[in-house]
Structure formats: C-alpha cells, structure tokens
Amino acid sequence: LLFSHRSYIDGAVVPVAMQENRLPPVHVFAGINLSFGLMGPLLRRSGVIFIRRNVGGSPLYKYVLREYVGYIVEKRFNLSWSIEGTRSRTGKMLPPKLGLLAYVADAYLDGRSEDILLQPVSISFDQLHETAEYAAYARGGEKTPEGIGWLYNFIRAQGERNYGKIYVRFPEAVSMRQYLGPQQGPLSHDQDDKRLALQKMSFEVAWRILQATPVTATGLVCALLLTTRGAALTLDQLRHTLQDSLDYLERKHTPMSTSALRLRTPAGVRAAVDALSNGHPITRVDGGREPVWHIAPQNEHAAAFYRNSVIHAFLETSIVELALAHARHLPDDGGDRMAAFWAQAMRLRDLLKFDFYFADSAAFRDNIAEEMAWHDHCEAHVAAGGDEIDAMLFAKRPLMADAMLRVFFEAYEIVADVLRDAPADIGQQELMDLALGVGRQYVAQTRVRSSESVSTLLFATARQVAADQDLIAPADLCTAELAERRSAFRRELRDILRDFDYVERIAREQFVAREFTARQRRRDSRTA
C-alpha cells in the first residue's frame, strides 16, 4: 500500500483503516528518525520497520535491505509506506522517487512473486496542526528534529481543538506485471529500460492517488480568501463566489468531501469558516453589521498549504485561462492566435512540470480541448482576439488561474531576478538565501502580491525550473549567451504575470457582477 504523505499521522492511518475494515495487518516502513526513546521498541512490536533515510553511501546496507524486502515479498506479507519524494510541506504532491519501490520491483523480476499489486492510498485532512511548522519552514526556518519533546508537543496539539475529518480513498491498484512485463524478462537485464518503466509505474500510482483525493471545503475557502489581498468577505460573498467552483467540480466529476458539498448552503459555508477561524488560518472580524472573514499576512503560508491541496482539480482550466490571455496580448500582426494559444498551453505545462503532475502530452491536449468546449465556436473567437477573448473569459466559470498558480510564477520570477547577476554555478543554498532577501524586499514594495510567494519550498522547485532552462552552468561557462538566456527567461515570466493580471481583472468584474445581482435579489425580496 503506497500512501500520500502530508503529516506524521499518515503512517498511523493505514493500519487503523485496515483493522477497522477487518483486513490483514500491514508492515509499515518508516524513517529511522522516528526510532527514539520508547517509540522505537513500541513501533517495532506493532509492525513498523525502521530504515535509514539515505542508504546511498552504504552498499552493504542497500544489499541487506534489498534482500529483506525480497524475503517479505516472497512470504506475501503486506507492505506499506509513503511514496518517497512526494511530501513537499506545501500541501501538494511532488513527483515520486523510486526508493523502496525499486527493491520491490527487483523481488518481482527475480521471480519471488507472480505479480505484485501496488495499492494507491489517498490520505487527506480537513486541517492539520503542522501547517504552522510548515509555514515557518517555508519562511526559512529550520525543521524541528524528532525527539521526546517533539512527540509530546505533537500529541498535545492533537487535542487542542477539532481538526475535522481524515479522508482515506483507495483507487484502483496498479499491477507490477503490467508495467514491468514477465519475470526474468528483458527488464531484468536492461537497467535503463527498467528505470524508465519504474518511473512510469510510480507516476501512475501517484497520479491515481491525486485523482482520488477529494477537494475539501478548507482548500476552497482558503483559495478564495488568498485572492482578496487581505480584504475580508461576508458570508454571502463567500457563498456566491464559491458556487462556480462547485459547479465546475461537479461537471468534472471530481471527488469532493462532505464539507465541500455543504458549501452550497449558508450553514455549510459558515461551518467551514468558523472551523478555520481564530488564525487557523482565517481571522474573523466581529462587532460590525455582520461578521467578515479574511486571511492575515502572517497566516498566508498556512492557508496556502490547504489551497495547494486542491490545485490539481483546477490545474488545466487555469492553464486555459493563461493561454487565452497570452493569445489576447498577441499583436494584430503576431500570427495565428489559436496556434499561440496551444503553444503557450504546452509551454506552461513544461514550466510547471516540477510542481505538478500532468497527463502525457496527447492526453493533456485532449483535456485542454475539453476545457475549451464550454464556449461555442471557441477557435473563431480566439482567432478574432480583442473583445472576443475578453467576452470568452468573462463567460468562463470559474476563473481560477490567479487563485491557483500566481504564487508559483511569482516565485519563479524572484529566482529569475536573482539569477540576472548571479554566478553561473550559484549553489542552491546561496540562491535560496538571495531569493528570500529579494522576495522580502518585493513584498515590502508590493512588487509581488503576497508573502506566500517568498518560500524556500517554492524557490527549490524554481531552481529546478531554472536548471531545466539551462540557466545554471559550470563556472567557466559564464558567457554573454547565458546572461541573455537568463534575461529572456525573466522577461517571459513577467509576460506570464501580466497575463495573470489580465485574468484577475476579469475575475473581479465577475465578482462585481455577482454582487450586483445578489444585492438586486435581496432588494427585490424585501419589496415583495
């Protein structure tokens, strides 16, 4: 069983779920960092297998671990662990690494089992107390080491307030035989093909986890309030703005939690914001004509964790909006706007590939075409440009690009700005430190929209993007060509941020129109 990893609670959820459903117990792999004090002996007796987090420097340890995993597979014991590499502390899943999965695959290819089923497990939460720690880490703080004091604080925090529900989903299992072929087959002797097949298999497991993860009320409410730049909204404003997102999720048959479904009603919205109030991470303001809710600047990183957990449901529709904005800004003599739309959609997919999961290129194009189907004769309207694209976007429900993706491109742009005059081979830590400093300056100058863009977690993937664009090179290759590539990349990101501004302006026009309609209805109901 391979589960998503957002909290230390995850490792306890799977054994409990198995027990409550009267299924055989599982052996859970866990990091050796959790084997401290009485925790080590206690967890070992409950089926936990502790392993080193980094085994690259010890061939003997790797061999023993490989044989041990093979023995467990041969004896048909159930194994469970969180997919390595997917925990990002930002609320969204990162691309998986192979790790233990490679050892299980070796056991299969060696003939120790006729097939092995990889069961994806999606684990998500209404709320987590660890978001405060994640927020501090994003701002440049140090990770709290595990120990007795850490364990005491962790357990005590669980009882401080009601954190809502835990959602466990089991999508369809992945067959190792299907992806790796027969035992003792060609992949047993071709390491390159084997690694490629393993990567495809691990991505399929992670993709199924993502598709099964329900959208929660917490994520939707935080996503909305993060777009207001600190402005508070009333209960009515929250409810009528959320309806477009709920309509979209229902059209796409996206899984939703019960709390998200209840956002259709004022009582459901009120329950969602009340559960998040008192700075967890929403602030409620009372004493006026009616209560209002907003997210204070110091809570933006914590709110972003919840927002990020629902981005996968709106990723492709957000890319459609940005690609339309790009086509809108094409000069009249700039060529085929529809071709520009498709080129930009694929470019955005390429830039975001280190932060998000995407379907393969062909399926992605099909999904984008499906997203465009909401507007009749869309190609003719895109080709016309100007007011036609304005009208298309104003008619689109919902507009999500600004809410979901702006902070990632702002983080990319900060890193690109730092790279302008940085050494060719700038190290990761130096780049992080410079980006944090520049980012804080830009927040103070309001050159970026919110402090959540200033995050070591976002800067880490931004550096991967920069390296993928050949913007980091050996010291002896610091040339004018490299400087021009860096400048061109920064200009490209600024153009994309201009597209965000355009989509945001239309989203605000939609909000004003909804407000006008809602007030008109209230006025009519009072006079009826």
Is residue 54 over pLDDT 80?
no
CA–CA gap between residue 108 and residue 116 (Å, rounded): 7
Mean pLDDT to the nearest integer, 224-230: 92
Contact call for residues 155 and 37 (beta carbons, < 8 A): no
Considering only residues 5 and 304, tell me which one the structure prediction assigns the higher pLDDT: 304
Mean pLDDT to the nearest integer, 304-312: 94
- What the block records as the tokens of 49 is 């297998």
For the chain, the average pLDDT equals: 90
Is residue 55 over pLDDT 80?
no
Phi, psi (degrees; rounded to nearest 5) at 270: -60, -40
The burial of 375, by beta-carbon neighbours within 10 Å (0-12 exposed, 13-18 middle, 19 or more buried), is given as middle
pLDDT tens-digit map of 181-222: 988 888 888 888 989 999 999 999 999 999 999 999 999 999
Contact call for residues 273 and 282 (beta carbons, < 8 A): yes
Q: Tell me which of 74-88, 176-190, 197-211, 405-419 is least confident.
A: 74-88
Angle between helix axes 456-468 and 131-138 (nearest 10 degrees) is 50
Phi, psi (degrees; rounded to nearest 5) at 80: -145, 140
Considering only residues 139 and 503, tell me which one the structure prediction assigns the higher pLDDT: 503
Query: Residue 186: what pLDDT?
Result: 84
Query: Residue 429: what pLDDT?
Result: 93
Q: For residue 347, what are the contacts with CB-CB under 8 A and spacing of at least 6?
A: none
Residue 166 β-bridge partners: 125
CA–CA gap between residue 80 and residue 25 (Å, rounded): 10
- Dihedral class, residue 292 (left if φ above 0, else alpha if ψ from -120 to 50, else beta): beta
Q: What is the DSSP letter of 256?
A: B
List the chain domain ranges.
2-212, 217-311, 314-397, 403-498
398: cis peptide before it, omega within 30°? yes
Is residue 18 over pLDDT 90?
no
Largest CA distance in the chain: 82
CA–CA gap between residue 384 and residue 64 (Å, rounded): 65
Is residue 31 over pLDDT 90?
no
CA–CA gap between residue 227 and residue 295 (Å, rounded): 10
* CATH fold match for the domains 2-212 and 217-311: no
Query: Residue 359: what pLDDT?
Result: 86
CA–CA gap between residue 393 and residue 385 (Å, rounded): 12
Query: Residue 88: what pLDDT?
Result: 66
**CA proximity to 486, closest of 468, 471, 475, 467:** 471
Is residue 475 over pLDDT 80?
no
Is residue 96 over pLDDT 90?
no
Fold designation for 2-212? Glycerol-3-phosphate (1)-acyltransferase (3.40.1130)
Query: Residue 493: what pLDDT?
Result: 98
- 3-class DSSP assignment, residue 23: coil
Mean pLDDT to the nearest integer, 95-124: 89
Radius of gyration of the chain (CA): 25
- What the block records as the tokens of 374 is 């909401």
Residue with tokens 């209805």: 521
Is residue 145 over pLDDT 80?
no
3-state SS of 191-221 is HHHHHHHHHHHHHHHHHHHHHHCCECHHHHH
The burial of 82, by beta-carbon neighbours within 10 Å (0-12 exposed, 13-18 middle, 19 or more buried), is given as buried
In this prediction, residue 1 has a pLDDT band, given cuts at 50, 70 and 90, of confident
CA–CA gap between residue 214 and residue 195 (Å, rounded): 31
Residue 268: CB atoms within 10 Å: 17
Residue 168 β-bridge partners: 123
Phi, psi (degrees; rounded to nearest 5) at 93: -80, 135
Query: Residue 506: what pLDDT?
Result: 96
Task: Report, at the CATH architecture level, how domain 217-311 is classified.
Answer: Orthogonal Bundle (1.10)
| % the chain with pLDDT above 70 | 98
Query: Residue 374: what pLDDT?
Result: 82
- CA angle 258/359/208 to nearest 5° reads 45
Contact call for residues 143 and 137 (beta carbons, < 8 A): yes
- What the block records as the tokens of 181 is 């072929």
CA–CA gap between residue 392 and residue 381 (Å, rounded): 8
281: cis peptide before it, omega within 30°? yes
Q: For residue 90, what are the contacts with CB-CB under 8 A and spacing of at least 6?
A: 134, 138, 304, 305, 308, 455, 457, 458
Considering only residues 233 and 449, tell me which one the structure prediction assigns the higher pLDDT: 233
- What the block records as the tokens of 269 is 């919205």
Is residue 236 over pLDDT 90?
yes
Residue with tokens 């107390």: 129
Which pTM was predicted?
0.91
Sign of CA dihedral 59, 61, 64, 65: negative
Contact call for residues 99 and 132 (beta carbons, < 8 A): no
In this prediction, residue 314 has a pLDDT band, given cuts at 50, 70 and 90, of very high
Is residue 300 over pLDDT 80?
yes
pLDDT tens-digit map of 342-366: 999 999 999 999 999 898 899 999 9
Contact call for residues 262 and 228 (beta carbons, < 8 A): no
pLDDT tens-digit map of 354-407: 999 898 899 999 999 999 988 888 999 999 999 999 999 999 999 999 999 999
Q: Tell me which of 38-47, 193-202, 412-421, 446-455 is least confident.
A: 38-47
* Identity of the highest mean pLDDT range in 202-211, 367-376, 422-431, 497-506: 497-506
Mean pLDDT to the nearest integer, 8-35: 83
Query: Residue 528: what pLDDT?
Result: 65
Contact call for residues 266 and 235 (beta carbons, < 8 A): yes
Phi, psi (degrees; rounded to nearest 5) at 91: 100, -15
Is residue 86 over pLDDT 80?
no
CA–CA gap between residue 247 and residue 235 (Å, rounded): 19
- What the block records as the tokens of 498 is 């201009």
